[in-house]
Amino acid sequence: MIREMRAAIFDLDGVIVNTAKYHYLAWKCLANKYGFDFTEADNERLKGVSRTQSLEILLEIAGLSFDDSTKAQMAVSKNEWYVNYIRHMDASEILPGAIEYLQRIRAKGIKTGLGSASRNAPLILERLDISALFDVIVDGNKVTKAKPDPEVFLRAANELGIPPARCIVFEDAEAGIEAAHRAGMGAVGIGNTRILKEADIVIPGLFELVVISPY
Ligand code: G6P
Ligand code: MG
């Protein structure tokens, strides 16, 4: 599968950078404030999913309902906590092997894209100074449908000018693996095989590919 790759499209949170833990912590802050809780297993359902949809999932788990303006305020609060975490990030938060793998495949002529649901992606890329590693950047500010909808990956492939069947997606979220497959792309899971059951292969991190990939 990887041998046919002409473009690699990377999720951001949990694949390139260790921000998944900050999303989790910020949602925990919100849950504490409103007197509910959620488990790490619940948290897997939030990965790759947009901010508003994540809130809907949490409220469903908690069995709570709020009016639209309260929910909008809750999403703002969560994002304030999250941005407070990420605004001080530096290059030490880049996950092992990410830069090396991106540089390696780019040197081999493989196109690289970012396909993230996050509206904070521009801030993160700027903080870490890694925008130049991507030929195209598609984030939550550019798409209308959240993963598992394939829009984010199809748009990246289109902007790269590479057919979806020749793109490989790198994802740490179940919703992202489903989005990749719905886009007609291969999906490399980053993380736990038990959680990312639908991925074509699962590796613990991009550092693994720096070692084993022919690219
Ligand atoms: C990523 C994360 C999700 C997050 C989403 C939106 O996909 O995995 O946990 O909810 O981005 O992020 P944002 O920064 O826009 O709240
Ligand atoms: Mg992710």
Interval between CA 46 and ligand 1 midpoint (Å): 8
Residue identified by tokens 């396909």 is 115
Interval between CA 35 and ligand 2 midpoint (Å): 26
pLDDT per residue over 71-102, tens digit each?
Answer: 999 999 999 999 999 998 999 999 999 999 99
The model's confidence at residue 3, banded by pLDDT at 50, 70 and 90, is: very low
d(CA 190, CA 16): 10
Give the residue, out of 12, 13, 79, 144, with the most ligand 1 atoms within 8 A of its beta carbon, to mutate for a pocket test: 13
d(CA 43, CA 20): 10
Q: Is 184 exposed, middle or buried (0-12, 13-18, 19+ CB in 10 A)?
A: middle
One-character DSSP codes across 159-177: HHT--GGGEEEEESSHHHH
Is-contact 134 91, C-beta < 8 A? no
Average the pLDDT over 103-117 and give the result: 96
Closest CA to 12 of 206, 159, 184: 206
Q: What is the structure's pLDDT at 148?
A: 96
Residue identified by tokens 């798409």 is 143
pLDDT per residue over 152-210, tens digit each?
Answer: 999 999 999 999 999 999 999 999 999 999 999 999 999 999 999 999 999 999 999 87
Q: What angle do CA 199, 200, 203 make, to 5 degrees?
A: 75
d(CA 3, CA 59): 43
Q: Which residues pair with 170 in a beta bridge?
A: 10, 188
Q: Which residues contact 143 (CB under 8 A, 6 or more apart)?
A: 117, 151, 152, 155
Interval between CA 80 and ligand 1 midpoint (Å): 13
Q: What is the pTM of this model?
A: 0.93
Q: Is 199 helix (H, G, I), strand (E, B) or coil?
A: coil
Percent of the chain scoring above 70 in pLDDT: 96
- List all residues whose CB is within 6 A of at least one atom of ligand 1: 13, 23, 46-51, 54, 79, 116-120, 140, 173
d(CA 215, CA 212): 9
